Amino acid sequence: MKNIFSIILNLVVLLSLAPSVSASNSQDSLLAIFNQIQDTSKISIGIQLTRSFSNTDMPQALRLANEMYAVAKLSEDTRSIASCQNILGILYKKNREGDIALTFLNQAAINYDKIGDLAAVVAIENDIGRLYYLDGSLIKALNHFFKSDSISSARNYSGKHITLTAINTAIALSEVGLFDLSNEFYNKALSTLNFSSQESSIYAGLLFNSLEQNKLYSSNKYFKKLVAIEVGTASSDYIRVILSKAYYQFLSGDKKEGNKRVLEAEKALEDSNKSQTVARQYLLLANVFLAGDQHQKSLIYAQLANEILKENKNLNRQKKAVNIALLASTKLNLPNAYSLAVRLDSIDNAIIQETGLDILRNIKIQAAFKEVTLVKDQVTPENDEKTLEIAARSKTEKIGIMLIFALFMLGAMLFMAIRQMKARQKELEEHKILLKEKHEEAKESHKVNVDE
């Protein structure tokens, strides 16, 4: 009764405020409704508000999300709690508070897993992986991408994010130098492609991997594919795509077209804020300039990337930045080459102390992936065997049920026959008694007649 009363009250509030909402259609109107409601319907309105405020007023968006979360916890509804945790994770991620974002996203993944919402788990595992990837924790990122891939590759999975998971995994694998494995995931992304907008990212990755592996035929093929795809300047993959094209053109000797591409990239990067994403783009630009024998520009962008990366102590990407700077300085015969070599050596030692040798990590990742693949290969025939076994068992069960039914019917028929026989016998006995009584009466009547 209490729930029904609450729903009716909310409907009354919504109806009373509806004219103002339709008239102004503003954040203030929605905010008024949000402040009036105190049950789980507050969450659906809060989601609209947080999306709007996250672009204009992040503190307000976080305040609303925390209010929604408080209501969800009081309701003890797992889906509502998971939804609010996911929203808070995304908001804190956008606000560059990675540790808090990770806490909420991990909790959301656990709760969605409890209620069996696999599509939501896959999406959140991708978000967690991207957070680690942006921070430079590539091994942790791959752990979450592999987890997401194993869930989305299951036969009973029918959700989204299969292609996105494959692309994220491929990008991370490429960065740790596992190009062949990266290509496998890019090809998986192509086979599961749902949105044509993701094509540019896939072919840019395949082109970059081919160039890094000196595979001329493959790089020609992927370059032609990439040229045929139009990528707008507003796309998040724009810089990566044009720099992949420039990289190919420099290595194939077409420096004129290569220079056009890098100029486009430089223009797009003007006035960019100092973020980890921009640092990666600077690194890619420095690498492309190195391929185009423009060593001074390569050195400048490697140093710009290194300045941003040092703030987050991102050792793996710092190593790449210093390595490019060292190669460029050596080509330019600059006196800082020795200090850069010493710096590179100290970063290597720090990486060994922190995470172990890169080659060891790569071998572990490959071994882990092979184990996952082996398990999948074993599971597939096992599933087929189980399916056949279940089908055979089902057939046997059906035959058994039919036999039991037949025996039951036969028993019923026998029972009815026995009852009928007993009834018939009883009738015969009664008829015999009746005949005997009549015979006795006739005898008595005859005797009387004789005596008379």
- What does the pLDDT average to over 243-248? 90
Q: What is the pLDDT of residues 174-188, one digit of tens each?
A: 988 888 999 999 999
**243-253: string of b/e by CB count within 10 Å (b at 16+)?**
bbbbbbbbbee
User: Contact, 168 vs 129, CB < 8 A?
Assistant: yes
Spell out the SS3 assignment of the chain. Answer: CHHHHHHHHHHHHHHHHHHHHHHHCCHHHHHHHHHHCCCCHHHHHHHHHHHHHCCCCHHHHHHHHHHHHHHHHHHCCHHHHHHHHHHHHHHHHHCCCHHHHHHHHHHHHHHHHHCCCHHHHHHHHHHHHHHHHHHCCHHHHHHHHHHHHHHHCCCCCCCCCHHHHHHHHHHHHHHCCCHHHHHHHHHHHHHCCCCHHHHHHHHHHHHHHHHHCCCHHHHHHHHHHHHCCCCCCCCCCHHHHHHHHHHHHHHCCCHHHHHHHHHHHHHHCCCCCCCHHHHHHHHHHHHHHHHCCCHHHHHHHHHHHHHHHHHCCCHHHHHHHHHHHHHHHHHHCCCCHHHHHHHHHHHHHHHHHHHCCHHHHHHHHHHHHHHHHHHHHHHHHHHHHHHHHHHHHHHHHHHHHHHHHHHHHHHHHHHHHHHHHHHHHHHHHHHHHHHHHHHHHHHHHHHHHHHC
Q: What is the pLDDT of residues 407-451, one digit of tens each?
A: 777 777 777 777 777 776 777 777 667 766 766 776 676 666 666
Measured over the CA atoms of residue 60, residue 62, residue 64 and residue 66, the dihedral's sign is: negative
- pLDDT computed for residue 175 by the predictor: 86
- pLDDT computed for residue 313 by the predictor: 67
- What does the pLDDT average to over 322-335? 87
- Enter the tokens of residue 427: 């009738």
Which residue would you say has higher pLDDT here, 230 or 5? Answer: 230
Tell me the C-alpha distance between 131 and 101, whole Å. 9
- What does the pLDDT average to over 223-232? 87
- What does the pLDDT average to over 295-305? 90
- pLDDT computed for residue 373 by the predictor: 52
- The CA–CA distances, whole Å, from 195 to 72, 189, 241 equal 34, 11, 17
User: Contact, 239 vs 268, CB < 8 A?
Assistant: yes
Tell me the C-alpha distance between 247 and 292, whole Å. 8
- Enter the tokens of residue 92: 């804190």
Percent of the chain scoring above 70 in pLDDT: 74
Q: Which of 53-57, 128-132, 234-238, 352-356 has the lowest mean pLDDT?
A: 352-356
Q: Which of 1-5, 79-83, 209-213 has the lowest mean pLDDT?
A: 1-5
Q: What confidence category does residue 347 fall into, taking pLDDT thresholds of 50, 70 and 90?
A: confident
Q: What confidence category does residue 9 fall into, taking pLDDT thresholds of 50, 70 and 90?
A: very low
Q: What does the domain layout of the chain look like in residue ranges?
A: 361-419
Q: Which of 189-193, 228-232, 272-276, 432-436 has the lowest mean pLDDT?
A: 432-436
Tell me the C-alpha distance between 99 and 197, whole Å. 31
User: Contact, 307 vs 282, CB < 8 A?
Assistant: no
User: Contact, 119 vs 89, CB < 8 A?
Assistant: no
Please write down the long-range contacts of 39-47, taking CB distance under 8 Å and 24 or more positions apart: 39/6, 39/10, 39/71, 39/75, 40/71, 40/72, 40/75, 40/77, 40/80, 41/10, 42/67, 42/68, 42/71, 43/68, 43/71, 43/72, 43/80, 43/83, 43/84, 47/83, 47/87
Which residue would you say has higher pLDDT here, 81 or 16? Answer: 81
- pLDDT computed for residue 407 by the predictor: 72
- pLDDT computed for residue 391 by the predictor: 60
In 10 A of CB 317, how many CB atoms? 21
Tell me the C-alpha distance between 35 and 71, whole Å. 12
